[in-house]
Structure 1
Amino acid sequence: MQTNEQGEAFGAWLLRHAKREDWIGTLAKQAKSDPWFRAATTPNELRKRLQEAGAEGDIFEALDDAEVAWLSAQ
């Protein structure tokens, strides 16, 4: 399992940010409502899932931002 410097998996980190009032919060809310999403989900797994679902560009930008924030543990 891939984790950040604090030992936190991306999926778990993302779920904790569902109350944010930005694109990361929107992404987290969508992930929380997806029965497929797991706390151990990696950014690349989520990226693949979004591609398969036909997601648009903005959500991928949010995922990129979330990945950077997760890696820096913001």
Structure 2
Amino acid sequence: MNMDKYVYPYENKPNKDQLAEQRNKYIDQAVDGILKHFKYSSDLYHELKLKKYSDEELKDFFYKFRHQPS
């Protein structure tokens, strides 16, 4: 039984690329939010900065952490 017509009853249902792009955009926003919160509320952030970790390296860490299976 094809459930697509019940989930997306319209003709212009999003394709897999659009859904993946949207999902990645939400993950990017989440990682940016985590990093911003981490910057302003964490002593660990300042410790990592003293060890010369860049924001990009921290973002990579959060991405890896985000994609681990639960």
Structure of larger gyration radius: 2
Task: Give the shorter-chain TM-score range.
Answer: under 0.3
Say which structure, 1 or 2, has more relative contact order (CA 8 Å, 6+ apart).
1
Question: TM-score, structure 2 length as denominator?
Answer: 0.28
Structure with higher helix content: 2
Instruction: Report the TM-score when normalising by structure 1.
Output: 0.27
